[in-house]
Copies of this chain bind each other. A is one copy, B any other.
Amino acid sequence: MQEKELVQLFQLFQKYTVLSKKAEEAIAAICSPITIKKNKDLQPIGHTCKTIYFINKGIARIYYFKDGIDITENFFFENSVIARVESLFTGKPSRKAIQALEDAEIVGINANQLFKLYDSFPEIERLFRKIFEAAYVETVHRIEGIQFHTAEERYKALLQEAPDILKRVPLKYVASYLGITQVSLSRIRGLK
């Protein structure tokens, strides 16, 4: 894969660890560029997650259906890693999909090949261990944010922490992310 398209990804890596040249090359060899149009699924529901994604440009979300209702689990912006970990780490099919919310440029990392690299490059295993540890910590914070906060508090927190989401993402997706209906979100936004 072209070096130009991997600049941002390797910059992210540097936050966690310094990779040897060989390790960088090994990773570059299992990366593929993906361009995807707004509203298209990057990965459909039912597929086992065998790719870890990195966003160079655009926004994506993980979503699933509960009783026929579309629920957004999470949003992902530029320079973040996306994976449906409940599938990636278990080998089971995922009930979730990944969708681009803007025209996006993405790097796909082949997970099986990555896991093989772990054997010959402990530094790569360490890098991804740290990446997912950080994602795990974020998920724990998310639970705190949900437990014992009203919808209004959650909305205001989002407004503080990630105002971009509200600017770039349809509110209907934000609503389910906050655990409320679209109509409730609209009402809350209308307050004051």
Chain A residues proximal to chain B, CB less than 8 Å: 64, 66, 69, 71, 73, 85-86, 89-90, 118, 122, 125-126, 129, 132-137, 139-144, 146-148, 176, 179
Contact = CB atoms under 8 A, between A and B. Distances in A.
Contacts of A129: 125, 129
Contacts of A146: 143, 146-147, 179
B148 A66 contact: yes
Contact of A134 (B73, B89, B135, B144): B89
15 contacts: A66-B148, A71-B148, A73-B140, A73-B144, A73-B147, A85-B137, A86-B140, A86-B141, A136-B136, A139-B139, A142-B143, A143-B143, A146-B147, A146-B179, A148-B179
Contacts of A136: 85, 89, 132, 135-136, 139
Contacts of A148: 66, 69, 71, 176, 179
A71 B90 CA distance: 30
A86 B137 contact: yes
Contacts of A135: 136
Nearest to A119: B122
